[in-house]
Structure 1
Amino acid sequence: MKAIALDAYGTPDDLHAVDLPEPKVAPGEVLLRVRAAGVNPVDWKLAAGGLDPIMVAGFPMIPGWDVAGVVERVGLDAGEFAVGDEVYGYIRKDWAQNGAYAEQVAASVRMLARKPAALDWEQTAGVPLAGLTALQSLRRVGVGAGDTVLIHAAAGGVGSLAVQIAVAAGARVIGTASERNHEFLRGLGAEPVTYGEGLAARVRELAPEGVDAALDFVGGEAVDVSLPLLKRGPAEGSTARLASIANGEVTAKGGHYVWVRPDAPDLTELAELADAGKLTVHVEHALPLEKAAEAWRLSQEGRTRGKIVLTV
């Protein structure tokens, strides 16, 4: 099979095409014919050694944890799916080596769900990591009907999905973004505010009494800006309704640090939202597999609205 790989930790320039044998399928796994693979910042951060020693990498390493594809073979004790099923998943294993930037990939049924019918292959590949991160972050801070939630980087891959999930739950969403993305956010149901100096004051104009919860999907000063905006800070022995995926210091300040987990039921929930017309994915760039390096450079610029995916 054809794949894109790295021979050692490196940069986008070190990605190259390889021919490898068909992946072996362990018990509890299925073999997928990949139709599209999502691109996430963690892909190039891991490739640069940024997750060492959190996650062990094996080489040659095929990046990619987001996949959408068709079941080609079913392993032992993997009866949840059959040949021909269209599925998608967040296929993060305990080590990084055999990822989704390939024509085929073996994946555990515990990390897969049926593809949402309402989304095409490229949109579907943009859901798993970002959608699970959004859903699990919102759940961690208990966002529900009647809440006002502040979402930082609301036009990005994770943020744009978090906006829609929160709106579907009946929450009011205030989302930070550059002015060029304000109309995009309004279309998702959020009230946009420009990030940067004076952000707290702009949020107060929209929510004079503060917000019930806040989600940081960008890092930097987002946690510190959010804390005084929360209606209720952490009480003695409790935690604030504040979560971050980008600032590990959030726990010392009373909030939650979220590291997304593969979860088939959560993927099914996201697919149901999509099929109900409550969740869609804006794909900013869909590039062929052989242009993975270009996709990484676009991701590194940090200005993508929605998602970047690779088509296979």
Structure 2
Amino acid sequence: MKLVAQVRLLPTPEEASALEATLRACNRAATCASQVAFAKDLKDRNGLQGVYGELKARFGLSAQPAVRAVKKVVDAYAALGANVRAGSLGPPTCKRYRAAVGTLIGFRPQAAQPFDDRCLSWQYDARTVSIWTVAGRMRGIRFACSPDQLEPRHHIRWHELPGTAPVPLSAPTGPQTRRTPEEEGRSARRRLARRRRKEQRHATHVNHRISKEIVSVAQRTGRGIAVEALGGIRERVRLRRDQRGTLSSWPFRQLGAHLAYKARRAGVPFLEVDAAYTSQRCPRCGHTERANRPDRDHFHCRRRGQRA
């Protein structure tokens, strides 16, 4: 499970200038590495091993930023290959496919650049960060973040240099022509893909909210969290017709993962239990018997007399 902390740097004008120069140098280096990858069909880190020296000498990068620039190129071509295999770019005969496969991947001057903990370090008490730049190591750059993200996180390994901004796309102009059936099909697939990604983002957001509330209540009341092991839940649970569409597509495993890591962070005990016979088991003495549950809404332990 990767945790993302949103941090905003607050550099002085001189620091901002150095950071922007670093961002531009890293992206020029990545574009250079991409040119080699495209021309020689070298799309893995071992194949691009020979460009490290050139990136360091030509663009003023130290060893680790050069490594990260090459890794960004490798990841970009890996993503392109995954889209090709998934059919997201259409058939090989379509214009979009040919344009994507037949053109090298370039990087905007202010595209985000991943930095790891060899390129930057955090001073949490002082709320400052030390970052490598083409002008040398810059220390004491202030940053801001929400209070709950201020705790030391030794697992933070990535940071995107500032300076990126979304560019709005202009609306299409001119006369619109009727699409061919093939174009309509591709458009429908793209709409379905966008809708699927939107639903995934919604489900992730809801799971975060649910898990955060459960852990908060457990922490406030001094209790632990026990959840049913959710493996195979779709095969084991019978649903009403009006519930099938919603619950059959819900990411239960993700919810369990969110609960687990949030509970660990908060120091709340967390346990996954086998759901078999739990409705028949007495919470006090552990006696399990079918007769303990005379109906769905009532529980009566035949050994201890516990009722619920």
Same fold (TM over 0.5): no
Higher Rg of the two aligned structures: 2
Please classify the TM superposition score into its range, dividing by the shorter chain length: under 0.3
Higher strand share: 1
Higher helix share: 2
Q: TM-score, normalised by structure 1?
A: 0.25
